[in-house]
Amino acid sequence: MKKGIVIKSTGSWYTVKTDDGNSIECRIKGNFRLKGIRSTNPIAVGDHVEITEQKEDNNSEGAVIGLITNIIERKNYIIRKSPNLSKESHIIAANIDQAFLIVTIKHPVTTTTFIDRFLVSAEAYRIPCRIIFNKIDLYNEAQTSLMNFLIDVYEKVGYPCLKISAKKDIGMEELKMMMQNKTNVFSGHSGVGKSTIINFIQPGSMLKTGIISDSHHSGKHTTTYSEMIDLDFGGFIIDTPGIKGFGLLEMEKEEISHYFPEMFELLNNCQYYNCTHTHEPECAVKKAVTDGQIAESRYDTYLGLLNTEDKYRN
């Protein structure tokens, strides 16, 4: 029996880096399932697992493969809505110290709704999150102004933001300092520059970079599976497939406002303890929106989540 960490997942095969530094290709033993989680992938990159080794059948060279027999309890994980409608979720990564949401103002556009959904999900799974605004060398005056406005919105809520250009080496050393000696996950739409950033901060990783569709101004998927990469300056980065939609799962409607920090702070000031911040009188959250203390975009995302929450749970 050996212990290790899953550093790559392609769906049916998992690469496990064992405690002695070796990498072994593994499968899941039998009908391995995690209790309490309906998912397309019971094992994810970042999982700490126990494996047994055995020789592959029908292999004259006697190649050794591993069988994952147990998963050690996760401290956290982050999920998205699975494209497989028969399942609820797809686990993107596990045991994360911090998540970086890569955002672009243009080519492609990252909406505030997308940003907020990601942040709510990260809050729900207790994953600290930072927002990275990439491609700042491409922005005109209006786009730069919009970026600075968004930075003001999110930093006031408590999410650290950083402006970078991976191609022009702007802000990259500061980003590396944030990542040092931690298990980090990058996420965001396809085309926002995740692979370019990783190739810059970890030379030799040689991740494929994509081009932006001229007709749709959106990225083409270049990452098709999650992979954990060792960082020379200490720590790990988990690269994930680009996300075009982000679902919120395992969450009750009454809980959604709890994952907006600026709303959670005001819960005790509402007239009703179970206030939904929609129609109730003497609602502290609605008043804060009116007074400009809570961004309207954040409140609009909250209302949207209330209206769509059921479809993400089914």
Beta strands 98-103 and 89-94, pairing class: unpaired
What are the residue ranges of helices labelled H in the chain? 112-124, 141-157, 172-179, 194-201, 261-264, 284-290, 296-313
User: What is the pLDDT confidence band of residue 296, given thresholds at 50, 70 and 90?
Assistant: very high
pLDDT-wise least confident of 166-175, 198-207, 288-297: 198-207
pLDDT value at residue 205:
74
In this structure, the chain runs to a length of: 314
pLDDT value at residue 216:
37
User: What is the pLDDT confidence band of residue 39, given thresholds at 50, 70 and 90?
Assistant: low
The domains found in the chain, sorted by start residue, are 2-71 (2.40.50.140), 77-239 (3.40.50.300), 253-313 (1.10.40.50)
Per residue in 185-200, pLDDT (tens digit) is: 888 888 999 889 999 9
pLDDT value at residue 162:
98
Q: What is the pTM of this model?
A: 0.81
Cβ neighbours of residue 255 under 8 Å, at least 6 residues apart?
124
Can you read off the two tokens belonging to residue 222?
């270049």
pLDDT value at residue 26:
93
Per residue in 91-130, pLDDT (tens digit) is: 878 999 999 999 999 989 999 999 999 999 889 888 999 9
Does residue 220 contact residue 211 with C-beta atoms inside 8 Å?
Answer: yes
Question: Across all residues in the chain, what is the average pLDDT?
Answer: 84
Does residue 105 contact residue 74 with C-beta atoms inside 8 Å?
Answer: no
pLDDT value at residue 313:
41
